[in-house]
Amino acid sequence: MAIFAACLCMKNEHRKFKRNYIFTFILLLLTVAIMHHGRAKNQSPFPFDNYLTACSDTIIPVIQTVSIRKRDTNLVKIPEDSLSRDLVKQVKIDTFHVRMSKDSIDAPVEYEAKDSMILDVTGSKLYLFGQTNVNYKDVNLKAPEIVFDQKTNLVKAKLKYDTAGNIIGPAFLKQGDINTMSDSLEFNFKTQKGLTHSSYFQQNELYNQAQVVKKIDQETIYAFKGRFTTCNLDTPHFAFRARKIKYISNKVAVTGPVGVEFENVPVLPIILPFGMFPLQQGRHSGFLPPQFTVTDGFGLGLEGLGYYKVINDNFDVTTRADIYSYGSWRLNFTPTYRVRYRYNGSLNFSYQNTHQGFKGDADYAKNKSFYLTWSHRMDSKARPGVNFSASVNAGSSSYTKYLPTNAIIDQSNGAGGFYSQPQSFANHMSSSISFQKSWIGRPYNLSVNLNHSQNNNTSEVTLNLPDINFNVNTLYPFQPREMTGSGKWYYKLGIGYTGSARGRTSFIDTSFTFKQMIDTFQWGAQHNIPISLALPQFGAIQISPGFSYQERWYSQKLFRTWNDQTRKVDSTITKGFYTARDISMSVSFSTAMFGTLNMKNKNAKVQAIRHVMRPQMSVGYKPDLSKLYYANIQTDTMGRRRMLSLYDGGVYGPFGYGESGSIGFGIDNFLEMKVREKADTTREQEGDGLKKVKLIDGFGITSSYNLLADSFQLSTFNLYARSTLFDKINITASANVDPYLIDSMGFRINKYAWQGENFSLGRFTNGSLSVSTSFKSKERDKDKKAADDQFAYDNYDNLTADEMEQQMDYIRRNPSEFVDFNIPWSINLSYSLSFSKILRRDYSGFDTRFTSSAQFNGDFSLTEKWKIGANGYFDFQTLKIPSFSMFISREMHCWQMSINVTPFGLWRSFNISIYPKSGMLRDLKINRTRTFRNN
């Protein structure tokens, strides 16, 4: 019967195949093979008109993928089905004369089904059941049930339930970067149009759900009764709901009236007439929304309102404005530029007109000021040997004095971010523009710099322009080009050159005039020619002789005389061209000594202590070539006289006074021990379970003795020490000890400290101490830590040094926005102490400047979602806390809340912010800020 049915079917279709009897005979053989054998499996394109026909009422359940090529020999595999367990041999079918239908699709369709396949030849339909998978070009379709209509090129898929009523699986469609899961869908392979019901799909950071989705082309999608959010939960914490939505892939999503809902509860008053949500990756132009704020001195304000414009791939501009109710306003203009593999940079110009308070009030203040920053970096591979960089921070000294909280645009990103209170504490600004060139293959180096320094408290501005340096690396004139072995001793005789020239001027920015700048301009230059010789080592001692010639050029001389009438020193400056020279020669000796104390008890925790000493000594001579440039001047009413140089206040300063024949000496110490402990991968492991632990990284003392001086032959002792205790506590200390006594006015007398009535080794003239440490608990989730590290690498690795510094500065000023909930607690402590004795300007004595402060910051997790932290510092000199702030952060999955409080200090403020984590919605920020300034 099966053979008869096949023949009858072929008779009904003979017109379609134009009585191709050869092809009919082959179909007959294939039908017989199917009846005697079980199943086969093929993979192929699927044009039905070119395919062997069977009666519409004949059902052949198979799991197969058919492969029939136009005008080619085809291999059909028919696998085992549920009715037969026999195997079918592979049958080759020659379709050389089969015509292609005009409505055939233009690419292969690969499909498979794990359950069964039903082929309806009369209706030109294919039914797939089970875990199906269909691929066509960039389209991938998966569903429990799929129907393909070859006449219309339309494929239909839908979800399916099992006997218990559970969903087996949804209909899944992927095309390009769009993934869609639906209850049912229809898709046309030829027109690329589709229609889905109860669909869920993702567009970049947006997770979308809609009752009906209509796909017009590869980029355009319409949605009816849709909901979209950046929360990836099935029941999102928040969402936007609109009746009509249009998506343009990787560009924008546009809606009609759109509302907001939280936990599926709509917020009825918040309904916008329309919505536009950018989906475009990378840079694109658009408006920048403002941020509402309230400050005590400026009133209500809108900050950050502006527009971001992309000019081209290499250039963009950000313009922002801040407006306050008391009349203050600020404009920020920020262009950025970049040429890949060559250079990149950004510029920011800010102009502000401030009105603090109201006219007529006692504390009313009005000010106009500006601020300019410029950052430029050149890629090192653009021009090997040449580099140009710039870091400019300049402006009016009064700019930061009238800067409210969250006022000036942060340059860490081109589209926004804000400075905060610490900016107002800045009392110093500096800039540097540098050009450097190295001649490859030659020992020459050139650098040209423009430097700027500005004190905001005194309004004094100092410019160094230009600052030119030219160096010649050490040359060995007696060394042959090709040398074997150590060579002769004089082969190591080297000579070099270092030259520099600098111009300098200073002025007060509030009373700036070009005449003042020209009158205070002075220049100078210096030349240094060192000659060195590296002699072979004599046993354990290394000997290194050296000779140096220096010459300096000056543009002015400073003459000082004592005025009996005014009872002070008068000064007179004479312009001109002046020179001074100096010669020095020396021989240095250095060695190293080692000592190890081994413990007898092999089971002791401390197995050995190792001490390394590096003593050094030098003998030097310097003739007195500068005595003509010094004068013995009375400096106070007591008749004290000092040797003062005519070149004091010059660009490079004077050479030292007097002839010198000095002996320098010093010693450096290093101490470590070997301990027995459990394996620790964080330290250097030794054999037999031993590891090295550093006790003192360095401790030493240096000084010198001048044999030719008539007084004060012994120079000050320089002490230093540094250590890292337990790999946790960093300690650095240094001090200078003067071995001579002083009089009641603080001036030195030629008498050693230990020769006085009270024995002493000397007095400390200046010193510093810094101690820092940090502690934190272990990460809860190491995989999350690795993911965060990868995110930081992807986002910050390509930043310039200036951009990285600005980003880190923003993080330091806004710690609540960068809370690491993966670490339960962390604490950082540091202490700094410094003091120095400075001669008064009228030479009447010395003043001691003393500073001591402690810095602290830390945080700990109250729960897995709540974290609290604080940072600030304490001034031991005033016994006050000049700066202190604390924060509370709440991690809310797709949102984050932060509360920042500064209860006292120059600025007092309160801020609460709730914002989504998604970068696309970063401007959707609920913020409340109040700021008060203590004048």
Please report the sign of the dihedral spanned by the C-alpha atoms of residue 742, residue 748, residue 751, residue 754: positive
Residue 49, pLDDT score = 38
Residue 718, pLDDT score = 94
pLDDT digits (tens, 9 = 90+) for 759-794: 788 888 899 999 999 988 876 655 555 555 554 544
Cα(70)–Cα(455) distance, rounded to whole angstroms? 83
The total of other beta-carbon atoms located within 10 Å of residue 719's CB is 17
Phi, psi angle pair for 402, to nearest 5°: -110, 30
Beta pairing class for 291-295 and 926-933: parallel
Question: Can you say how many angstroms the Cα of residue 228 is from the centroid of all Cα atoms in its chain?
Answer: 31
Write 902-907 long-range contacts (CB < 8 A, 24+).
902/421, 905/421, 905/881, 905/934, 906/421, 906/424, 906/425, 906/882, 906/933, 906/934, 907/405, 907/421, 907/424, 907/931, 907/932, 907/933, 907/934
Cα(582)–Cα(551) distance, rounded to whole angstroms? 6
Cα(687)–Cα(685) distance, rounded to whole angstroms? 7
Residue 466: cis peptide before it, omega within 30 degrees of 0: yes
Residue with tokens 């250590």: 723
DSSP conformation class of 32: H
Q: 752: closest CA among 720, 693, 711, 703? A: 711
Give one DSSP letter per residue of 797-830, joined into a string.
TT--HHHHHHHHHHHHH-GGGG--TTSSEEEEEE
The answer to whether residues 884 and 855 touch, using CB atoms and an 8 Å cutoff, is no
Largest CA distance in the chain: 139
Give one DSSP letter per residue of 74-142, joined into a string.
EEE-B---SS---B---EEEE-TTPPPPTT--SS-EEEEESSEEEEETTTTEEEEESSEEEEETTEEEE
What separation in angstroms does the CA of 860 have from each of 288, 373, 772, 866? 35, 37, 19, 9
The answer to whether residues 239 and 263 touch, using CB atoms and an 8 Å cutoff, is no
Token pair listed for 1: 């019967």
What separation in angstroms does the CA of 222 have from each of 175, 208, 799, 924? 16, 12, 39, 25
Q: Report the half-sphere exposure of 317 (CA within 13 A, side-chain side).
A: 6
DSSP conformation class of 1: -
Token pair listed for 612: 């390394």
Cα(66)–Cα(111) distance, rounded to whole angstroms? 8
Token pair listed for 881: 């806390």
Give one DSSP letter per residue of 727-767, joined into a string.
TTEEEEEEEEEE-EEE-TTS-EEEEEGGGSSS--S-EEEEE
Cα(746)–Cα(206) distance, rounded to whole angstroms? 73
Bridge partners, residue 173, by sequence: 141, 180
Residue 122, pLDDT score = 85
Cα(129)–Cα(158) distance, rounded to whole angstroms? 11
Cα(207)–Cα(205) distance, rounded to whole angstroms? 7
Cα(584)–Cα(656) distance, rounded to whole angstroms? 11
Q: Which parts of the chain sit beneath pLDDT 50?
A: 1-25, 32, 34-91, 96, 405-424, 680-686, 791, 793-798, 800
Token pair listed for 885: 């702030």
Helix 2-12 × helix 21-36 angle, to 10°: 150
Q: 75: closest CA among 83, 64, 85, 62? A: 64
Token pair listed for 231: 């929360």
What separation in angstroms does the CA of 457 have from each of 381, 504, 510, 513? 42, 21, 12, 20
pTM exceeds cut of 0.85:
no
Quickly count helices (H) and strands (E) in the chain: 5, 55
The answer to whether residues 866 and 890 touch, using CB atoms and an 8 Å cutoff, is yes
Token pair listed for 820: 């690491």
Residue 921, pLDDT score = 78
Cα(827)–Cα(517) distance, rounded to whole angstroms? 49
Cα(445)–Cα(117) distance, rounded to whole angstroms? 78
Q: 875: closest CA among 884, 885, 867, 862? A: 884
